[in-house]
Structure 1
Amino acid sequence: MAYGGLTEISRGSLAVWRRNLDAFIKTYKVNFIPPFVEPVLYLLALGYGVGALIQDVDGIPYPVFIAPALVSISVMYSSFFECTYSSYVRMYYQKTFDAMIATPLSIEDVITGEILWGATRGTIYAAFMIPVLFLFGVIDMPTSLLLIPFALPAGLLFSAIGICFTAVTPGIDALNYPAFLFITPMFLFSGTFFPIGILPQTLQYFAFGFLPLANVVNVNRAITMSEFSPMLIYNIFWVFLVALLFFIIGLNLMKRRLVN
């Protein structure tokens, strides 16, 4: 089994992905509301509420500054929670994983399909947010359309991290710990609502070295503002590399849990 089981993955993962997509479409009225409502609420409360007290950030209007961060946050939340709470429910309560593994699908197929679906959901949410942000005049077209393809690897990153927590959590209530101790700090301290550059240099290194959202926000902000720098290469490489790392870790952790 080479590369932690990657060679065992087959097209069966697409069947798992399709199963989750079908379930998502059946409840479209609930699923399609958040990506339209969330950016409006954030922009009104923070962009124009708090923004009224802040003239600009490095010459950028505050609503424009936080717009790419809102897309990043949406991708993080939708992908991470899909592969934690939702995956745990499918695994433990609905026994969906057991049913799928009883077919010719392998454990690798099931977990890969879950991670792919989590990334897809994050990409869908990003795609739906873009026209809302464009109507508010806080992003420009067509450059900002690049947020959509980048949402996929970003979603893979957060989905893979989420599946790792799902694999080791003893119960669904324990998923509150990564939500509060990992996701919430990233939400606040990843350059979302203020520039990372105002933090001490040590914390800046920590953010770009260990916080996934900080790297995603930096890429999305560069996309919407068409400001590309060598740092962007590092951010993109970091996202892809860490996504692959946690993908392999997640596969092995989930296989150990489901087999034992």
Structure 2
Amino acid sequence: MTRTNYNLVMFLRNSYHVWFRNLLVFRKNIRVNFLPPFVEPLLYLGAIGFGIGTYVGEVDGISFVRFIAPAILAASVMNASFFECAYGTYVRMYYGKAFEAMMATPIRLREIVIGEIFWGATRGLISAAAILLILSLLGLADLPQSLVILPLAFLAGFLFSAIAACFSAVTPSIDTLSYPSLLYIAPMFLFSGTFFPLSLLPEPLQIFAFVALPLTHVVTLTRGIMVGGAMPFWPVNIAWIIAGIVVATCIAVRLFDRRLII
């Protein structure tokens, strides 16, 4: 085995240990951790899909509840991944001192960061699987073709986790994490084609949503898979997600280096 391959194996193994450590903590409170992914989509579908949807009628040729169901799944992946690597990572770093403990071992900081981001992506995948099960039981998702959403959810979770890690690395206190939640995540939840088509927005806002809001690409792909809609820009959507993962991950690693390495 060459030195490069050895370093790569060690990097992946150490990152896995960080991921597995978080998994063990998750398993201790598994009942509580699994409850929100099951309850959240039911609330949105009941209040907005089946409630307001009775007054809306069809959107783009499909019922309103079928229109928003893929978006609710995509948004839940965003929320699960983002908040896990924003609040969760900050708590483990600052209050739990888990980063310091792991850095006292052969595990390096960048391996900790990658392990955290992988765990955030896993939380997004878990959320997607739970919601997809509910949607299938309600007749809003067709199996097995909708299972393609799961690898997409992991990629999307990786992206939102990396973005959250950037905020976690620079925030001076846990209270200030409310700013990206309010000023970035909330607008993205509302204006990424979740509850109405992007075509209803003014053209400058459509361009902004396509360029600057990653949830737009995740919603587009998820909706196309679940309802069979046209996805003329799917290569661009996937390329945007992958490029966002690379850029956000590199920035997150760099920011944590500046914060914790003296």
Whether these two folds match at TM > 0.5 is yes
Q: After superposition, what is the alpha-carbon deviation per residue over 1:233-252, rounded to whole angstroms, capped at 9, x for unaligned?
A: 11111011111110000001
- 1:1-260 correspondence runs (5 A): 9-260=11-262
Matches of 1:228 and 1:236, distance apart in 2: 15
Shift of 1:229: 2.9
Q: Partner amino acid for 1:21?
A: L
Matches of 2:230 and 2:191, distance apart in 1: 22
Which deviates the most, 134-143 or 65-74?
134-143
Matches of 2:184 and 2:229, distance apart in 1: 29
Q: Partner amino acid for 2:211?
A: G
Q: Partner amino acid for 2:238?
A: I
Matches of 1:47 and 1:15, distance apart in 2: 41
Partner of 2:59, secondary structure, is coil
Q: Partner amino acid for 2:80?
A: S
Matches of 2:60 and 2:129, distance apart in 1: 27
Q: After superposition, what is the alpha-carbon deviation per residue over 1:141-163, rounded to whole angstroms, capped at 9, x for unaligned?
A: 22211111101110010000000
The residue number in structure 2 matching 1:3 is none
Shift of 1:105: 0.2
Matches of 2:260 and 2:232, distance apart in 1: 42
Q: After superposition, what is the alpha-carbon deviation per residue over 1:112-161, rounded to whole angstroms, capped at 9, x for unaligned?
A: 00000000010011011111011111122222111111011100100000
Matches of 1:43 and 1:225, distance apart in 2: 16
Question: 4+ residue runs of structure 1 moved beyond 6 angstroms?
Answer: none
Taking every aligned residue pair, what percent have the same amino acid on both sides?
A: 52
> Contact 1:143/1:226 (CA < 8 Å) preserved in 2?
no
Q: Partner amino acid for 1:81?
A: F
Structure 1 unaligned residues grouped into runs of 5+? 1-5
Matches of 2:186 and 2:53, distance apart in 1: 21
Q: Partner amino acid for 2:258?
A: R
Q: After superposition, what is the alpha-carbon deviation per residue over 1:218-243, rounded to whole angstroms, capped at 9, x for unaligned?
A: 11011102234331111111011111
Partner of 2:247, secondary structure, is helix
Size of the aligned set, in residue pairs, is 255
Matches of 1:57 and 1:16, distance apart in 2: 44
Matches of 1:72 and 1:34, distance apart in 2: 15
Matches of 1:70 and 1:240, distance apart in 2: 22
Structure 2 unaligned residues grouped into runs of 5+? 1-7
Matches of 1:168 and 1:20, distance apart in 2: 22
Matches of 2:138 and 2:94, distance apart in 1: 42
TM-score by length of 2: 0.95
> CA separation of 1:216/1:119 partners in 2, compared to 1, >3 Å: closer, same or farther?
same
TM-score by length of 1: 0.95
